[in-house]
Amino acid sequence: MFGATEPLDTRDATPIATAPITRHVRGNDRDKAKPVTTGTADENAPDWAAVLIRIRDDRDEAAFVALFQHFAPRVKAFLMRSGADAAQAEECVQDVMATVWQKAAQFDPTRASAATWIFTIARNRRIDALRRQKRPEPEDLPWGPEAEPHQEDRLGLQQETKHLGEALASLPAKQRDLIEKAYFGDLTHTEIAEATGLPLGTIKSRIRLALQRLRHAMDRK
């Protein structure tokens, strides 16, 4: 298995970029779609959306192992920062990653990156486990089988997500800390109201466009 070469502890996660599976996936993508010009250090960063699509479409266990090795340790850390103890977090990680496998068909790469989508699953699991509440979700807007998302939209969204990650990383420590705490569920409502935001306008517009296309596709049915 591709993933078998990966150490379980991905504390220094960058070596994952050399995993054969991710190179292979990126290579395929480049053949199909316009290359994304990044020119930054993580040019070789794995395209996790493509890995997730292989899980979605091919039920590819090797792809799942690669995704697990990158995200499961982060999901565990996220849950622990959110107030779970180690044993609880460990159990939730397994649930979260199994849900990723089970619900992969709901992943829409024009509206979310793999990290974003996995975050929403982990967050919902946290609400369920720590607060014993269910979380009402908006009505789903599904792609019909005849309306596969455009490569361009997918790459555009992934690109915006990458920029957002970079913007977050380059914030002053104090502000970044505030945003992280908000997502770890560690701020009071008053503090959240004071958390100044990142510029989310571009990614918002892109998602808005993807939603517009969805509506058109639904109307045509």
In the region spanning residues 143 to 162, those forming contacts with another protein, defined by CB under 8 A, are 160-161
Q: Which of 138, 154, 153 lies closest to 52, judged by CA?
A: 154
Q: Minimum CB separation from another protein for residue 36, in Å? A: 17
Among 23, 83, 88, 124, binds another protein (CB under 8 A): 124
Could you give phi then psi for residue 180, rounded to 5 degrees? -60, -45
Among 20, 28, 142, 152, binds another protein (CB under 8 A): 142
Token pair recorded at residue 12: 């220094």
**Nearest to another protein of 33, 192 (CB atom):** 192
> Sign of the CA dihedral 47, 106, 164, 184?
negative
Helix axes 114-130, 48-58, angle to 10 degrees: 70
117 binds another protein, rule: CB under 8 A: yes
Between CA 66 and CA 52 the distance in angstroms is 10
Between CA 10 and CA 31 the distance in angstroms is 30
Under rule CB under 8 A, which residues in 59-88 are in contact with another protein?
Answer: 59, 61, 64-65, 68-69, 71-78, 80-81
Give the SS3 label for residue 36.
coil
Under rule CB under 8 A, which residues in 169-188 are in contact with another protein?
Answer: 169, 179-180, 182-185, 187-188
23 binds another protein, rule: CB under 8 A: no
216 binds another protein, rule: CB under 8 A: no
Q: Minimum CB separation from another protein for residue 206, in Å? A: 8
Q: Minimum CB separation from another protein for residue 39, in Å? A: 20
Distance of CA 42 to the CA centre of its chain: 16
Q: Which of 26, 21, 60 lies closest to 43, judged by CA?
A: 26
22 binds another protein, rule: CB under 8 A: no
Under rule CB under 8 A, which residues in 26-55 are in contact with another protein?
Answer: none
Instruction: Tell me the residue type at 66.
Output: A
11 binds another protein, rule: CB under 8 A: yes
DSSP string for residues in 54-88: HHHHH--HHHHHHHHHHHHHHHHHHHHHTT--HHH
164 binds another protein, rule: CB under 8 A: yes
Q: Minimum CB separation from another protein for residue 209, in Å? A: 9
